[in-house]
Amino acid sequence: MNDKTSSHFSSSSKPLGETFNRTFDRQVKLAVTGLSRSGKTVFITSLVHQLLHGLEGTHLPFFQIVSSGRLRGTKPMPQPDMHIPSFRYDRAIEQLCGDPPTWPQQTNGISEIRLAIRYLSNNPLLKHISPIKTLCVDIVDYPGEWLLDLPLLELSYEEWSEQIASACEKEPRLSLSSEWRAFLENIDLTSEANEATLRRASQLYTDFLHCCKEPQYGLSLLQPGRFTMPGDDLKGAPLLEFCPLFEIPESPYPENSLYAEMKKRYDYYKEHLVKKFYKEHFSSFDRQIVLADVLKAFNTGYASFVDMRDALNMVLKSFQYGKTGLFNKLFGGLKIDKILFATTKADHVTPNQLPNLERFLQNMLASSQNNATFEGVRTETLALAAVKCTQAAYTTFQGQKISCIKGVPIKLDKPVALFPGEVPLEVPMPEEWVEGRFQFMEFKPPRLANVHGSGLPHIRLDHALEFLLGDKF
């Protein structure tokens, strides 16, 4: 790790290297998820940067362990799970802090990073005996797409096919699925299975999913999750080579048929990928943050919004199931006791719109959050920006002072001041999603003079830290 980027226990703290040992007083596993491009990599990078620079500057006023002066320093440590790829903080921060700064490269799959946080205990009994404590935080980044697979565990291949077929009756899925659908119409599913047909059918289905994900359609509810986000080295593995069907052949069908093989692979996928993820990873998480780029859905339109809402609510099911029913039965309960739902990139709106953005996310999740199965899990919603790329500014229009934001749009080289649109409190009616109503633009990361002296500029990351970790100190 590059020296500039891997600030150890900060220089303004006592050198802790010699007193530091690898036994921790407490450990917490913090999982970060969200659909692709929701901002997971940037969030973790900024969070680590904020903590490594926790003793310098005043960038975390709401994170009490810092504001109360009890933080003694933070240090990256070797991660505990050797079989999980490392979260490449060094690479990401080098890009974000480069000159010019750039956004970190896109990542796929799961990764992990461990931090040790040293702090002064405020427990009156410990104050004089052993006042310095260490909290070990394991941060795990994993694709939200994988959580969309949990419902499959309760669905037979036929039931799942029926759901997908009915979703494909509506636009934009209807048009986008035409090539895959035409291919299926021309094959006899009761004929003998062969690799070429299976591969072609799954390829066309995967292409369809990728198309749905394109920015102009912005669809989120895409199953199976591993088809667009395979992780590991699963690309091209037979367990990813099947697809849902529009017509189910009548039984009895030959055991060596295309249909029987597709069904077998679907069951194998559930058994070996879906269950494995929940058993090996999900069940060990203590705290969870779910990131969602709600503003992206505003830009794209009603269909994209509805799809994102349904996908997010499906993601929530993983946590609800955790306490009762299916999950308990299969994996023996869930440890997660706090979940934060955060809409990211809050720097794309003017500061006066933050409360609306937060309320809107709450409304989006309302039905799931109110569900009694959330019992025992504290949930919270928040609008945040892991890296704040814009400044609040004002402009006058027809003699009126209007608040706007100023930043460098991703496709330009000079800052512009703009008013990106108001965030509504309620979901606009389908006909109200007129083109151009929302223009939440992407920005370049900020160029910072003192990037290694303090945490990256952010919006409410300290609130997120306080909710997720505050009670652990």
The answer to the question of residue 289 lying near ligand GDP (CB under 6 A) is: no
Query: Can you give the length of the chain in residues?
Result: 473
Nearer to ligand GDP, 40 or 472 (CB): 40
Binding mask 95-134 for ligand GDP (x = CB under 6 A): --------xx-xx---------------------------
The contacts of residue 367 (CB under 8 Å, 6+ apart) are: 313
Interaction partner, residue 39 (ligand GDP, Mg ion, none; CB < 5-8 Å by kind)? ligand GDP
Torsion angle of C-alpha atoms 224, 228, 233, 238, degrees rounded to 10: 50
Interaction partner, residue 344 (Mg ion, ligand GDP, none; CB < 5-8 Å by kind)? ligand GDP
State in angstroms the smallest separation of the CB of 151 from ligand GDP: 22
Nearer to ligand GDP, 71 or 387 (CB): 387
The answer to the question of residue 41 lying near Mg ion (CB under 5 A) is: yes
Of 215, 367, 368, residue with least CA distance to 295: 215
The answer to the question of residue 389 lying near ligand GDP (CB under 6 A) is: yes
State in angstroms the smallest separation of the CB of 40 from Mg ion: 5
State in angstroms the smallest separation of the CB of 168 from Mg ion: 29
State in angstroms the smallest separation of the CB of 44 from ligand GDP: 8
State in angstroms the smallest separation of the CB of 347 from ligand GDP: 5
Of 76, 75, 47, residue with least CA distance to 60: 47
CA distance 104 to 94: 9
State in angstroms the smallest separation of the CB of 216 from ligand GDP: 17
- Judged by CB under 6 A, the residue of 6, 13, 27, 36 near ligand GDP is 36
Strand stretches in 362-426, DSSP E: 378-383, 391-397, 400-407, 416-418
Of 383, 282, 382, residue with least CA distance to 335: 282
Interaction partner, residue 450 (Mg ion, ligand GDP, none; CB < 5-8 Å by kind)? none
CA angle 253, 258, 260 (to 5 degrees): 50
Nearer to Mg ion, 5 or 33 (CB): 33
CA distance readout (Å), 356 to 242, 376, 462: 42, 27, 20
The answer to the question of residue 50 lying near ligand GDP (CB under 6 A) is: no
The answer to the question of residue 379 lying near ligand GDP (CB under 6 A) is: no
Q: What is the b/e burial string over 135-163, where b = at least 16 CB atoms within 10 angstroms of the residue's CB?
A: bbbbbbbbbbbbbbbbbbeeeebeebbbe
Instruction: Judge whether 60 and 53 are in contact, CB under 8 Å.
Output: no
Q: Which helix (H) or strand (E) holds 300?
A: helix 294-300
CA distance 112 to 416: 37
The answer to the question of residue 34 lying near ligand GDP (CB under 6 A) is: yes
Three-state SS sequence of 442-471: CECCCCCCCCCCCCCCCECHHHHHHHHHHH
Binding mask 413-432 for ligand GDP (x = CB under 6 A): --------------------
CA distance 329 to 334: 11
Interaction partner, residue 163 (Mg ion, ligand GDP, none; CB < 5-8 Å by kind)? none
How many chain residues bind ligand GDP (CB under 6 A)?
22
Restricting to residues 56-85, which ones interact with ligand GDP according to CB under 6 A?
Answer: none
Nearer to Mg ion, 107 or 454 (CB): 107
CA distance 313 to 20: 43
The answer to the question of residue 320 lying near ligand GDP (CB under 6 A) is: no
Interaction partner, residue 292 (ligand GDP, Mg ion, none; CB < 5-8 Å by kind)? none
Of 148, 426, 164, 427, residue with least CA distance to 312: 148
CA dihedral (321, 323, 329, 335) positive or negative? positive
Nearer to ligand GDP, 44 or 135 (CB): 44
Restricting to residues 94-123, which ones interact with Mg ion according to CB under 5 A?
Answer: 107
Interaction partner, residue 36 (Mg ion, ligand GDP, none; CB < 5-8 Å by kind)? ligand GDP
Stretch of 67-75, 119-127, 238-246, 379-387 lying at the interface with ligand GDP (CB under 6 A): 379-387
Q: Which helix (H) or strand (E) holds 355?
A: helix 354-369
CA distance 325 to 317: 11
- Judged by CB under 6 A, the residue of 259, 298, 443, 467 near ligand GDP is 443
State in angstroms the smallest separation of the CB of 431 from ligand GDP: 30
Tokens, residue 405: 């934001």
* Residues at the contact surface with ligand GDP, assessed by CB under 6 A: 34, 36-42, 103-104, 106-107, 344-345, 347-348, 385-387, 389, 442-443
* Residues at the contact surface with Mg ion, assessed by CB under 5 A: 40-41, 107
